[in-house]
A and B are shown apart, each in its own frame.
Chain A
Amino acid sequence: MSIANLTSRRFLLVAGLLLLLLVFLATFPLYTSRSDVLVLTIILMYIILTVSWAMFSGSTGYMSLAPAAFFGVGVYTAALLFSEKWALLPLPAVIVIAGIASFVLALLVGLVTLRLKGIYFAIFTFGLVVLIRQLLVFWELQIVGKRGQHVIAVSGDTVYYVMLGILVVTLLTVYLIRRSRLGLAMQSIGGNEEAAAHMGVNTTMVKVLTFGISAIFMGAAGAIMATRWIYVDPVIAFNVFYSFMPVLMAVFGGMGQLYGPVIGAAIFAYTERALRLQSPYYYMLAFGIILILVILYLPGGLVSLVPKLQNKLAGLISKFWKGGKAEQHANT
């Protein structure tokens, strides 16, 4: 059997599995309760945030601590354009506009900070969430005179399907970027930025552009989440928690592969729903300890275990195989 044949067979296998998974996800609301759909919606949201965070920060090495800012911009775009006062636009348009708004914000932040050393970028993005929240609180209290906004409610199933749609688009985009010249340029920046610049990579352009692209999906996810929350205020929308979780989840899952952040986010988001209500402090404490241990002892994340396990398994199988053969020899 030729190698091309083998890879194409493997490709078909993966594609088939993914298709099955997608069918399962698409039909999920038909045979489960509404609360299960909500849990899965939140898991999907975390996957979107984590995958888009890892796309930029994982490959370029620039630590962005701003996912909550882009997520919150999405939430507030929905709050302004899809409110009970004036429902100006249909939902899909609102989501697209939320994505664009986050994209523009990311471009502005990127243009100011990404020309400089990575540390400035981390510092700036770390406080960006607090900054926008303060500005919005000021605006609502001093100028509008009313705290918080009401968003038109949308059915849980709609929220779920829109979230699933955003996730599929996110994964496809990230997959394509990883395989494109842009993806290679990002990886070379992560490897050695100076060398990348000497090779002719326009490093600032690549960084700013991909930072912007990663923000689009966070904004879109925020916009649809707002319709689920119904009431939003700056403290709900710009919660630093949404900045920290994607980092934890991506590091836990491993950023070397596309599916690493997906797995990390799925596991963490699920356990969060299950455990956070019962004992939140112990849960978050364990979170911190796990993060430290993973960075110290498993720098590649959970997915770095896969090849190791594969090797072990292959070794075990070949041992049995050889053992069996040896036995046959002995019999003849």
Chain B
Amino acid sequence: MNPTIVWIVISGLMNGGIYALIAMGLSLQYGVARVINLSHGEFIMFAAFLTWTLYTGFGINPLLSAAISGPLLFGLGFLIHRTIFTSLRNRSPSPAAFEGNSLLVAFGLYFVIQNVALLIWGGQPRAYYYLFHGVELFGVTFVVNNLIALVISVGLGAAFFVFVARSRLGRAIRAAAQDPVTAGLMGVNINFVLPLCFGLGALMAGVAGLLASMCYPISISMGMNYTVIALIVVALGGLGSIPGSFIGGFILGLVGSVVAHWQPALSMVAYYAIFMFLLLVRPAGILGKA
């Protein structure tokens, strides 16, 4: 096989794995909890720095540190929704008003998380080396940690999809996504399921942040780009469609790596081109219902 093509495809899938994770997280937060979470990327950044501290400060293996950062991020997301967004939901006169207000609150969270991180870690970018050696695949050399990131994101995405599609709690989540009020009348505890979804979204952001810190240098301002990408992938896959976000993440990752191979500075431009094309041709996204 042509090594260039192998390189483009596999590195595209690696990026795509992280994109898919963050987009699935945002899809849960927007599709079910109806929060347009502009601070999604800040959760990713926070988890990335947490992983960095745990590895360089305490010598905890980044992959194992998920046992600390995962529950922490989940709890944080759950608590934020249970306190702020639940009370906002009860105060808002209509779902549309809640969407607008939740966007603004998420905006406030963006400032809070970013500046807490700046107070803890300061402004300089960080990086660490973990499993940083090459391995040959189809005649091309890849870094091991990148491949592990890909495997983890695919595994986690698939596991989560099965959880939503098959489990009882997953059914409650899907019901809440369709109509929270009716789901509440059918015996779904909305005040538990919506914070749960927000928390799971934060958890996915946390795992994505962990993987990102393993593969790339990290900085406090990294969150914004991830938020933009997650929003585009969610729109690409169809608002609220979890498999759509999963597939969309990989599509965007592949497009990004094709463009980056030719001109690295223009990958964001390519994402936008896709987004605009989609808005004009199929606004509901690839798997969304019109």
Contact = CB atoms under 8 A, between A and B. Distances in A.
Contacts of A116: 279, 283
A288 B87 contact: no
Interface string A274-318: 000000011011011111100110010000000000000000000
A270 interface: no
B108 A244 contact: no
B135 interface: no
Interface in B81-96: 84, 87-88, 91, 96
Given A284-B111, A285-B119, A112 B103 contact: no
Interface in A241-284: 244, 247-248, 251, 281-282, 284
Contacts of A244: 107, 110-111
Interface of A is mostly: helix
Interface string B246-290: 000000000000000001011011001001100110010000000
A96 B96 CA distance: 37
B191 interface: no
A142 interface: yes
A288 B111 contact: yes
B201 to A, nearest CB: 16
A124 B283 CA distance: 12
A135 interface: yes
Contacts of B272: 127, 131
Contacts of A127: 228, 231-232, 268, 272
A292 B111 CA distance: 10
A160 interface: no
A123 interface: yes
A289 B115 CA distance: 11
A138 B100 contact: no
Given A61-B96, A295-B88, A295-B105, A131 B269 contact: yes
Nearest to B120: A281
A75 to B, nearest CB: 20
A292 B228 contact: no
Interface in A128-184: 130-131, 134-135, 137-138, 141-142
Contacts of A281: 115, 118-119
B34 to A, nearest CB: 10
B118 to A, nearest CB: 5
A61 B97 CA distance: 9
B227 interface: yes
A113 interface: yes
The 9 closest A-B pairs by CB, nearest first: A288-B111, A291-B108, A288-B112, A292-B108, A127-B228, A285-B115, A138-B265, A288-B108, A123-B231
11 contacts: A61-B96, A119-B36, A123-B231, A126-B231, A134-B269, A135-B269, A281-B119, A282-B115, A287-B108, A288-B112, A296-B84
Interface of B: 30, 36, 38, 84, 87-88, 91, 96, 99-101, 103-105, 107-112, 114-116, 118-119, 224-225, 227-228, 231-232, 235, 239, 263, 265-266, 268-269, 272, 275-276, 279-280, 283
